[in-house]
Chains A and B, each alone.
Chain A
Amino acid sequence: MKKKLLLALALAASFAAQSQTLRIGLAEDPDVLDPTLARSFVGRIVFSALCDKLFDIDEKLNPVPQLATSFQWAADNKSMTIKLRSGVTFHDGEKFDANAVKFNIERHKSLAGSNRRGELAPVTTVDVIDEFTARINLSAPFSPLLTVLADRAGMMVSPKAAQANPTAFGSKPVCSGPFKFAERVAQDRIVLERFPNYWNKANIHFDKVIYLPIVDATVRLANLRSGQLDLIERVAPSDVASIKKDSKLSMSRITELGYQGITINTRKGDGSNPLAQDRRVREAFELSLDRAGIVQVAMDGEATAGNQWVPPTNQFYAKNVPIPKRDVARAKALLKEAGIPNPTFTLMTPTTSDGQRVAQVVQAMAKEAGFNVKIQSTEFATSLNLADKGQFDAYVLAWSGRADPDGNLFSFYGCKQPLNYSGECRPLWDDLLNRSRNTLDTSGRIKVFATLAAEAAQEIPIVYLYHRNWLWAHNKKLTGLRTIPDGLVRVQGVKM
């Protein structure tokens, strides 16, 4: 009798010990939790625990299987056959199969307000070959397809739940990830509970994950310090030193996929923007900047200087266009050549502290070469509007980055593409961009990017400054956090 009691107590104790909650502090409140409609970076952090995707990416940005186990390009590269994992169920018990894949891709392409249409533009149809095999058909070869399917466009929601709730699916999302949706209080918390039938459940060591959006970085860190949070994302670079000194906390970092840069409006317009009149003025501007200095002062060293849309460590970085060193003398000479020795322009920056620091440092550096930079702090919503209408001279703009360089390029350099604020429109560039998409083999793409990088270095529509470090701070007891350049927090393998 005594033994039974002891056993029962031990079991109860171990049960209680097992019930663990992971509390993650986010830098913003996520938007709608529907992978088709989602529009923010921070939402993807929640998705990585809520919704599994066809593929995921690893530290080296290679696609790895998640809901899909293997892929095969067709001979003409105009379709890809995917083999799916068997035995996977959605949170509502529905089976995951090729029909679900077809449903989801079609939903991504056709739902009103879908934000995935652009990403899946080259995808035409999806064929169900058999229960666990699907074929994705393309209008033309599309090398970024795998990385696109390793993001929100590859997330699979339960067809039954989506059909039952067509307009408000995001308020009660049903996916197939390790955690299922429990509750959401806007701007307060998102609570996910362990999904007992997850295919990789051995790797999940928590029963609950709670995401708490805390916008102020100081307060976010204070929460981590006081023990209310276990992990926080986007630590302020200025806090890194004190976190290092704290014996209860650890830091993790990795270079991001995106960049911080200054987009230049190259439309000549009414002639009031000296940067637009002559490419030599743009070159002089770039030469007046000391990227290492900017990284040190504006980011406390928590960034890597860069001059392209991918970091220097990326395999697609064009080695033929290295980072130019600061050269004030040459900058002055170029300005003299161009006949504009003291150009004046307005640098538009959002009111975030990052943007403002960068703008102030740039203003001071460019002054030494003769530039008279006026800083115009603009609320983000307004700045988007001005950028869209081409009513700016230069704009401090960061991009969160995508795993494939195409994601950092196409929308920005393609003629009339939505994020092409600089206004460059060259058939050669469009041709290069399309070629980089149509070429599947890496070395071929590297050559195309090398040509494009050389072109961009000549025209300088965007002055890339640096690639920030994703900074996570967490409780020392937390282990298994993988530092992947997309900045997301993957719960698989994390334990405390």
Chain B
Amino acid sequence: MLNYFLKRLAALVPTVFFVTLIIFGLQQLLPGDAALILAGEEQDPEVIAYLQKKMHLDEPLPVRYAYWIGGVLQGDLGESLRIQEPVLGLIKDKLPVTLQLAGMAMVIALLVGIPAGIVSAVGKDTAWDYVANMVALWGLSTPNFWLGILLILLFSVSLGWLPASGYVSPFEDLWGNLAAMIMPAFVLGNGIAAVLMRHTRSAMLQVLSADYVRTARAKGLGERTVVLKHGLRNAMTPIITLGALEFGTLLSGAVLTEQVFSIPGFGKLIVDAVFNRDYAVIQGVVLFTSSVYILLNLMADMAYFLVNPRLRG
């Protein structure tokens, strides 16, 4: 098992290298002279020249890449040229926000998706199946930003139950924080719930017809024990892997959800940075999130190993 772990760790290196190439390549794709938009309304030629120098725009691509990677390896992710704050600081500020949003979304997805998948699998082809399907699919079939706006209009403007947007730290005001995060987390978790439902359903279906379940049933164990104890535990393995994979989807969804609800997390940071050509921010944040994603996948693989005794040694 250690061997496997080391092999996987070694495979990380080329992956991360490719990630940096993709990120850097994407930046250069962004059309237009980055210095122009960062120079603001007045477009002062001296400011433009100053920014071009700061971003090394006069140097060839490989040199710029080297500057960036060199900095990263020393722990310096550069600074946002728009507001003159170090990228690492921005990441530190926004990490808890996005983490909380992703976490809450995941919880909602699990609470909705897994039971829906179980119900759908156990009651296959009955009315329960269709209902469960609908509940989960509904979230996947509406654009994030649209659902968000509808919820805001309903719960904030009409009913006045929840704040329309914004974020307040849970340490400052726990209830306020939860009130502000519940709608965006719901919008974000919806889509994932559907994916979880599908996988839970197919995993459960597979497992329920398997031999050891038939054995359990033959032994006279109650249906619920069969389903939950034996079925679910074995169905969990692909779900763990899925959870890690879906982190990427969460981040994608967070981009729009954060825009609509004005949540100051990574998603909003990245989108604004793209439109403002704030290269350092784009590069630094995407590198960070990609690395986390890759790490999560590695951990999920390890967990998979641990949970499924048949795969061990």
Contacts and interface: CB of A to CB of B under 8 A. Distances in A.
Q: Do chains A and B touch in the complex (CB under 8 A)?
A: yes
B93 A214 contact: no
Interface string A18-46: 00000000000111111001111100000
Nearest to B145: A216
A189 B263 CA distance: 11
B64 interface: no
A225 B93 CA distance: 29
B42 A113 contact: no
Interface string A263-282: 00000000000000000000
Interface stretch (B125-133, B203-211, B215-223, B267-275): B267-275
A225 B157 contact: yes
Interface in A144-172: 167-168, 170-171
Contact of B277 (A167, A186, A381, A400): A381
Interface in A426-443: none
B33 interface: yes
Interface stretch (A114-122, A131-139, A468-476): A114-122
B41 A226 contact: no
Nearest to B49: A113
B44 A418 contact: yes
Interface string A360-386: 000000000000000000011110111
B289 interface: no
A325 to B, nearest CB: 32
What DSSP secondary structure best describes chain A's contact surface?
loop
A187 B149 CA distance: 19
A215 B82 CA distance: 17
Interface in B135-188: 149, 152-153, 156-157, 160, 163-167
Contacts of A189: 166
A170 B84 CA distance: 7
A32 B149 CA distance: 30
Contact of B47 (A113, A187, A218): A113
B164 A226 contact: yes
Given A187-B268, A223-B165, A385 B32 contact: yes
A31 B47 CA distance: 15
B144 to A, nearest CB: 13
A226 B85 contact: no
Interface string A196-210: 000000000000000
Contacts of B44: 115, 117-118, 418
Interface in B29-50: 30-34, 36-47, 50
Contacts of A216: 259-260, 262
A41 B41 CA distance: 8
A187 B272 contact: yes
A388 interface: yes
A430 to B, nearest CB: 17
B261 interface: yes
A228 interface: yes
Given A185-B93, A187-B268, A215-B259, A31 B83 contact: yes
Contacts of A388: 33, 36, 43
Contacts of B47: 39, 113-115, 117
B264 A188 contact: yes
Contact of A381 (B80, B157, B276): B276
A135 to B, nearest CB: 26
A219 B149 contact: yes
A368 to B, nearest CB: 34
A32 B84 contact: yes
Given A37-B84, A186-B90, A388-B36, A223 B42 contact: no
A37 B167 CA distance: 28
Interface string A103-126: 000000000111101110000000
Contacts of A399: 41
A81 interface: no
A45 to B, nearest CB: 14
A219 B82 contact: no
A32 B50 contact: no
- The range of chain A's interface size is 35 or more
B166 A223 contact: yes
A385 B31 contact: yes
B42 A228 contact: no
Nearest to A416: B45
A189 B167 CA distance: 9
A195 B91 CA distance: 31
A171 B152 CA distance: 33
A213 interface: yes
B262 A213 contact: yes
- Most central of A37, A187, A189, A385 by chain B CB within 10 Å: A187
A226 B161 CA distance: 9
Nearest to A216: B260
A216 B258 CA distance: 11
Contacts of B259: 215-216
B95 to A, nearest CB: 13
A171 B167 contact: no
B84 A212 contact: no
Contacts of A219: 149, 152, 164-165, 260-262
A171 B264 CA distance: 17
Nearest to B83: A32
A219 B156 CA distance: 10
Contacts of A112: 50
Contacts of A186: 80, 83, 85, 90, 93-94, 264, 269
Given A113-B47, A379-B275, A381-B276, A226 B39 contact: no
B53 to A, nearest CB: 9
20 contacts: A38-B40, A39-B42, A40-B41, A117-B47, A119-B42, A170-B83, A186-B90, A212-B166, A215-B262, A216-B259, A218-B149, A227-B160, A381-B34, A381-B36, A381-B37, A384-B32, A385-B36, A386-B32, A388-B36, A419-B43
Interface of A: 29-34, 37-41, 112-115, 117-119, 167-168, 170-171, 185-189, 212-216, 218-219, 222-223, 225-228, 379-382, 384-386, 388, 399-400, 411, 418-419
Please name the 8 residue pairs, one residue from A and one from B, whose CB atoms are nearest each other, closest first: A39-B40, A385-B32, A188-B264, A222-B164, A381-B37, A418-B43, A113-B50, A382-B32
Given A115-B44, A167-B84, A384-B43, 14 more contacts: A32-B83, A112-B50, A119-B42, A170-B83, A170-B84, A186-B93, A188-B166, A213-B262, A218-B152, A219-B261, A222-B164, A222-B165, A381-B276, A386-B32
